[in-house]
Structure 1
Amino acid sequence: MNISGNSILLTGASRGIGREIALAFAKQGNKLTLAGRNEQALEETRAGVEQAGGQAIVVAGDVTDAAWREFAIQKAVETYGGLDILINNAGVVSAGSLEEQTEEDVNQQLQINLVAPILLTRAALPALRKSKQAAIVNTSSIFGLLGMPFYATYGATKSGLGHFGEAMRRELADAGIHVMTVYPGATDTPMMESAGLGDEAGFAYDTPEAVAKALLDGLQANELTVVRADENSQGMLDANRQSPRELDEQIRQMKPKLEKAVEQHRSM
């Protein structure tokens, strides 16, 4: 699809991958509605978008709030005359054993990572159907393809988001709305500052700029999925399909190191 001149609603736009997605689209002359909880950070993203050659408005709020979801879509349509691309990028994480997770953290991950994107997509569909070329992009995670200990709830939400995208792609096949899912690996963003999933745990960090570029390239090529996996992660994904019991043993051996590495990983 054409990745320039579009009206785009982007959640999680205040930092990390979301900010780089906004800047990458800005360089292609797009018009962005920047959504997130931190208005000051969103204004910083907006300034970057305008400096890069795009247009942007800020709609700060809580993606789990139904009234805010409707308002964000309305602002995008009113400001830019329609909505062409919805990017469900907002996400939170709380790592640790399930027994030690608070019920609040479990529910918040479910609501922000999975329920909110489904409901925002539902609310945006009438506007997207009016676009001559429309798309929905969901930001999942490599842990949506690979179940890892200490990320049970997070992985469940990201796996669910991937299956949601797959189902919607087929549901909307005759509506001219393309659906793509992006699966980033461990990425050097503020969300990962409290994690230890670097070289010591066996995962190489990607850059948010590279993830954003891959998203735009994938959308332009009408890809169905974009997977960002380092060599170790790709090996684990392959093993998970071909010999899952052997991978179980590999992960069992790395569990003590992994548990220590992620014990403080929380970005809510």
Structure 2
Amino acid sequence: MRLSDCRAILTGASGGIGLQLAEQLCNAGAQVLAVSRQEGGLGQLRQRFPQQLRWQQADLNQAKARQEVLSAAWQLGGVNLLINAAGVNRFALFEEMDDDEIDALLDLNIKATLQLTRLLLPVLRRQGHALITNIGSTYGSIGYPGYATYCASKFALRGFSEALRRELADTSVDVLYVAPRATRTTMNGAAARALNDALKVGTDDPRDVAVAVLEAIERNLSELYLGWPEKIFVRLNHLLPGLIDRALRKQLPLIRHHSRAEVGEASK
């Protein structure tokens, strides 16, 4: 898919990976409908790309907001690229999370994403070729302590992407699943960043992730996993899960320590 030919809907577009995707899509000549609850960094981008970038304010957890995105898609003359980048994260041991936190994470990361995708499928299917790109995570393949709910949402998104790709195999719509590793965004709190530093976890710049995502879109890939040794760990977890179990058990004291710091920070 040529980026200059894209008419894209991009969720989670106001910061992090989403904002970088919006900028690079516009630089490549694409038409972009950026969807987010707050305008954030999109204000400056709209000044730079007034003919290419539109902003749709929307809380995707609300059915009315999703319908407004659908209407905006028709006003664009249809779309051939949907990038589901909206999502939230929470570093905490599972027993430390309350009902509202669990609901909020699952509602946006999986429920709203599925509901918006279903709503937009008729628009996408009218195109000669269209692509749905779901931004997942390495934690969609490796269950990691301190991220049980987040892992649940990303495992679900990975399974959804795989099943939908197969369901649409005889149509003009393809599905790409992208699994970044840790990325330097505001989604990660101070405790999560401290844990990554303590474990010497490799982290990527959102701009670099966006470059890789758009290259995968241009190459029409079906899956993209980012980062070494994370790619190896994903395979090992599939083939030898007990090996990963033992490795992560050694990290538990450190994970618990930083999780308590996160809880303390959140309660202030």
Structure 2 length-normalised TM: 0.92
Residue 179 of structure 1 aligns to a residue whose secondary structure is strand
Q: Does 1:239 align with 2:223?
A: no
Q: Could you report, residue by residue, the CA deviation over 1:10-43 in whole angstroms, capped at 9, with x for unpaired residues?
A: 0000000000111111111001111111134432
Counterpart position of 2:158 = 162
Counterpart position of 1:58 = 55
Cα separation, 2, equivalents of 1:133 and 1:239: 35
Which amino acid in structure 2 is aligned with residue 104 of structure 1?
Answer: D
How does 1:23-62 map onto structure 2 within 5 Å? 23-47=23-47, 50=49, 55-62=52-59
Counterpart position of 2:11 = 11
> 8 Å contact 2:19–2:41 — kept in the other structure?
no
Cα separation, 1, equivalents of 2:218 and 2:40: 31
Which segments of 5 or more consecutive residues in structure 2 lack a partner in the other structure?
none
Q: Could you report, residue by residue, the CA deviation over 1:161-205 in whole angstroms, capped at 9, with x for unpaired residues?
A: 011111111111111101001101000111124322433223111
Which amino acid in structure 2 is aligned with residue 215 of structure 1?
Answer: V
Counterpart position of 1:93 = 89
Counterpart position of 1:108 = 104
Q: Does 1:133 align with 2:129?
A: yes
How does 1:174-213 map onto structure 2 within 5 Å? 174-194=170-190, 195-196=192-193, 197-213=195-211
Instruction: Give the Å deviation of 1:209.
Output: 1.0
Instruction: Say which of 258, 261, 264 aligns to 1:261.
Output: 258
Q: Could you report, residue by residue, the CA deviation over 1:44-80 in whole angstroms, capped at 9, with x for unpaired residues?
A: 34335x18xx7111111201111111111211321x2
Counterpart position of 1:224 = 222
Q: Does 1:67 align with 2:64?
A: yes
Cα separation, 1, equivalents of 2:5 and 2:158: 27
Cα separation, 1, equivalents of 2:40 and 2:217: 29
Identity score, percent: 33
> 8 Å contact 2:125–2:171 — kept in the other structure?
yes
Instruction: Give the Å deviation of 1:246.
Output: 2.1
Cα separation, 1, equivalents of 2:175 and 2:116: 14
Cα separation, 2, equivalents of 1:45 and 1:146: 35
Cα separation, 2, equivalents of 1:104 and 1:81: 38
Residue 128 of structure 1 aligns to a residue whose secondary structure is helix
> 8 Å contact 1:14–1:45 — kept in the other structure?
no
Moved more, 68-77 or 257-266: 257-266
Residue 74 of structure 2 aligns to a residue whose secondary structure is helix
Residue 4 of structure 2 aligns to a residue whose secondary structure is coil
Cα separation, 2, equivalents of 1:112 and 1:68: 13
Which amino acid in structure 1 is aligned with residue 248 of structure 2?
Answer: I
Cα separation, 2, equivalents of 1:141 and 1:96: 17
Cα separation, 2, equivalents of 1:245 and 1:43: 48
Counterpart position of 2:73 = 76
Residue 4 of structure 1 aligns to a residue whose secondary structure is helix
Aligned-residue CA RMSD (Å): 1.9
Instruction: Give the Å deviation of 1:238.
Output: 3.2
